[in-house]
Structure 1
Amino acid sequence: MPTDASKPDNDRRFWDRLAQKYATDPISDEAAYQKKLEITRQHFTPDSDVLEFGCGTGMTAVSHAPHVKHIHATDLSGEMLEIARGRAVEAGVGNISFERVGFEDIDAATGRFDVVLGLSILHLLEDRDAAIARVHSLLKPGGVFISSTACLGEKMWFFSLIAPIGRALGLLPMLRVFTQVQLAESLRQAGFELEHQWRPDKAVAVFIVARKPAN
């Protein structure tokens, strides 16, 4: 049975093993993905300093890079980041810095970023509320947090029972089960104002734009 200290390494190894498959699997809903890109870019300027944590294989970061000044893209998996770096080189993108680091260990100044992206990641973190509070602190006043999060609590609550067993066996990563209402409340409690919530038809992921008040 893994100890608490070993669990982050187990998660890293899980995502390292999955990296190649993750990179080659087709997007399940291309229209929804493109809509999320479009909405996100409405919050960019050419001077935007962006953080994307849990960037995976870098497809979204590379897609957004031409629309901003800089993206700092982080992930726990070195294998994911190797693919992401290759994608950036292939696309001729030079304004992304990649770092292998867990979100809680990101070394960044308070109020640094104009936009923070957390896509398909909040449900994979140990402490959702702590992560959202950290995002709030990293944003400039008036900055925007954009997330796309699997909210499994409405229809797939049973994952809360099987996820700890799957993680202990190395078959699943950290997985937290909560509802869209609970996620929205976490964002509000951290001080965010919710500007946009959208769930594509039949999807478990909820796309949310939340703003840190300007004052």
Structure 2
Amino acid sequence: MTISGDARFWDRTARKYAAGAIGDQAGYERTLARTRALLRPGDRVLELGCGTGTTALRLVGAVEAYLATDISAAMIAISKEKHATTPIPSLAFRVAAAEEITPEPALFNAVLGFNYLHLVRDLTGTLAQIHALLAPAGLFISKTPCVADMNPLIRFVLLPAMRAIGKAPYAGVFRASELKKLINAAGFEIVAVEDHATKVNDNRPYILARKR
């Protein structure tokens, strides 16, 4: 499967995804609160892998401008449907991968990637692009599954089998320790690593990094 194949997978599952419940609502609320506290009223924010726009709609009120992107046109369509019910001029949704985004008219003060980094095919390249999109001392905030820290049954049996039959998109396999090294190597200083989960064995570290 290629990135276009990944996009088609998310297009097929978008409505089901939108109808599903958040697995750890308390953990999600903790992540939102922590992120909102880090954002400033004058910030320009980019969210990568925004899905159906739930997080964007919750955080946009804290900043000046918010661009939410996803590779799935169906996900973005649902985001725009939600946005149409409560229009917010400072919020925009766009179908795009990180590599297709240019900072117009200025660099972003913060880039967000929730449940995102494990889904990109070129993690090193994506982190370099995020670094390039950020203003000096800008923040990169991520929270993503570290599959290599999960149950081996998931890593070696369930995930490959589901991908083979088209029931799962690409998922990178790395440990939290490896992810932190890659973020550092991309030109970031890691400021904090937190666990927001309220369920055991979540393995999705919340990482706050600042552009060096």
What TM-score, normalized by structure 1, do the two folds share?
Answer: 0.89
Spell out structure 1 runs of 4+ moving beyond 6 A: none
Alignment partner of 1:192 out of 175, 188, 191: 188
1:113-148 CA distances to partner (integer Å, 9 max, x unpaired)? 000001111000111121111111111111100001
Establish whether residue 75 from structure 1 lines up as the match of residue 74 from structure 2: no
Q: Is the 8 A contact 1:160 1:176 kept in 2?
A: no
Give the structure 2 partner of residue 173 of structure 1.
169
The unaligned stretches of length 5 or more in structure 2 are: none
Q: Spell out, residue by residue over 1:24-55, the C-alpha distance to the aligned partner (whole angstroms, 9 max, x if none).
A: 11111111111111111122111110000111
Of 158-167 and 55-64, deviating more is: 158-167
Structure 1: how far apart are the matches of 2:177 and 2:153?
18
**Greater alpha carbon shift after TM alignment, 48-57 vs 26-35:** 26-35
Equivalent residue runs for 1:199-210 within 5 Å: 199=195, 200=197, 201-202=199-200, 203-210=202-209
Alignment of 1:117-132 (within 5 A): 117-132=112-127
Aligned to 1:211: 210
1:155 and 2:150 equivalent? yes
When residues 110 and 180 of structure 1 are mapped into structure 2, their CA distance, relative to the original with a 3 A threshold, is farther
Which residue is 1:143 aligned to?
A: 138
Q: In structure 2, what residue type is equivalent to 1:108? A: P
Q: Where in structure 1 are there 5+ consecutive unaligned residues? A: none
CA RMSD of aligned residues (A): 1.9
TM-score (normalizing by structure 2): 0.90
- Superimposed CA distance per residue, residues 150-172 of structure 1 (whole angstroms, 9 cap, x where no aligned partner): 00112234555455564454222
Aligned length: 208
Identity of aligned residues (%): 35
- Match of 2:205, SS state, is strand
Alpha-carbon spacing, 1:186–1:36, altered in 2? closer, same or farther (3 Å): same
The match for 2:109 is 114
